[in-house]
Amino acid sequence: MDRLLTGLQPSGSLTIGNYCGGISQVANYQKKYETFLFVPDMHAITVPQDPDALHKNIINAVAMYIACGVDPNLPDMHIYIQSENLYHANLSWILECHTPHGDLTRMHQFKMKSAKNEAFTEGLVTYPDLMAADILLYDAKYVPTGIDQKQHVELARNLAERFNNRYGEMFVIPEPLIPTIGAKIRDLQNPEAKMSKSTDNPKSAIFLADDEKVIRKKIMSAVTDSDGKVAYDEENKPGVSNLLTLYSVFGEVTIDEAVDKFKDGGYGDLKKGVAEVVIPKIVAFQDKYNEVIKSGIVDDVLDAGRDYSNKIAAEKYEMVRKAVGFGRI
Ligand code: ATP
Ligand code: MG
């Protein structure tokens, strides 16, 4: 069975963007592939985090994965916390020593996040190497992701190829799995940018933990344009196209069907339509989330995931260690 792997940083509450690019894909593919779904807490501290909030976000994230349809009882589903597996950092170091610095500083995500904070840390630079380690340790063939992480998966591919050429076959070459619709859910207030959970402006993002009224308000105040015509055009009408995308994903129709439904009305009708399909799904996730938290299963799921992920990662790390000449033969 091929392996699929992905992670969503516990840098805040998950957004509908994280649902579209990450979790919904895991739920769709979970019966087809052996799945490694991890909480990248080590990635989260590439920008400042409050320790108490980080602990809470980790548990809440796992409960939300399950609430969104990930089935922790599937025999080939492994959910774990990155920092509970020390091999990630070890392999990351080795990969860092094989990555030209310029390959890291040209990454879009690095440029965007470092622009927000002049005192950015080295962790923000080397983050893609840690992500490559996350993937390569498990021989993951598929990495479900939004468009924003495509460049990082490409770096992991390049590293894997370079490694295999230099040291012999060692890593599976990973491929990003990018959804055809919803690969870049846009910021509601600045539709040029992608929606992000670590936004400074809460009106920009719909969080899976938002209550119904808040979601409706955020959708109704989403930035559109002055043209007044409902049409799908990512480049010239990013705000309206984003609303159509949300309608399509949450209403389970094609983009053409969404355009057809709203083309004779105004943006107000489109926004109301989006709220009507988005809200019931999020409310259902929240009901399930509360059940998961009450059931207390999260710790057991994470214990099992920690043990299994350590076993798999240890085997791969042993191969790499020997190949690069570390320690004793
Ligand atoms: P942060 O702002 O802390 O970076 P984020 O919202 O970008 O948070 P990540 O944890 O970086 O979320 O990414 C988790 C997953 O969600 C990745 O697969 C990423 O590609 C996907 N993703 C993130 N934002 C979006 C988006 N706006 N649209 C679609 N997919 C997204
Ligand atoms: Mg991100």
What pLDDT is recorded for position 116?
87
Q: Domains for the chain: give ranges and CATH numbers.
A: 3-178+296-324 (3.40.50.620), 212-289 (1.10.240.10)
d(CA 266, ligand 1 centre) in Å = 30
What pLDDT is recorded for position 310?
98
- Of all helices (H) and strands (E), which one includes residue 212? helix 212-220
Residue type, 271: K
What pLDDT is recorded for position 217?
98
Tokens of 106: 């040209």
Q: Which residues of 143-173 are buried (b: 16+ CB within 10 A; e: fewer)?
A: bbbbbbbeebbebbbebbeebeeebeebbbe
Which protein residue's CA is at the shortest distance from atom 26 of ligand 1? 17
CA–CA distances in Å: residue 87 to residues 9, 91, 94, 279, 304 = 18, 6, 11, 40, 17
3-state SS assignment for residue 77? strand
Tokens 């042993």 — which residue? Answer: 318
d(CA 319, ligand 1 centre) in Å = 32
* For the CA of 47, the nearest atom of ligand 1: 3
pTM: 0.96
What pLDDT is recorded for position 118?
84
- Asked if residue 245 lies in contact with residue 182, where contact means CB atoms within 8 angstroms, the answer is yes
φ and ψ of 58, to 5 deg: -65, -50
| Cα–Cα distance, 299 to 120 (Å, whole number) | 33
| Cα–Cα distance, 317 to 187 (Å, whole number) | 39
- Of all helices (H) and strands (E), which one includes residue 304? helix 298-324
- The one-character DSSP state at 23 is I
* For the CA of 197, the nearest atom of ligand 1: 6
Ligand 1 pocket, residue 17 CB under 6 Å: yes
What pLDDT is recorded for position 117?
84
What pLDDT is recorded for position 201?
96
Task: Walk along the chain (329 residues) and give the pLDDT tens digit of each residue.
Answer: 999 999 999 999 999 999 999 999 999 999 999 999 999 999 999 999 999 999 999 999 999 999 999 999 999 999 999 999 999 999 999 999 999 999 999 999 999 999 988 889 999 999 999 999 999 999 999 999 999 999 999 999 999 999 999 999 999 999 999 999 999 999 999 999 999 999 999 999 999 999 999 999 999 999 999 999 999 999 999 999 999 999 999 999 999 999 999 999 999 999 999 999 999 999 999 999 999 999 999 999 999 999 999 999 999 999 999 999 999 99
Nearest ligand (C-alpha, residue 108): 2
Clarify whether 217 is annotated catalytic. Answer: no
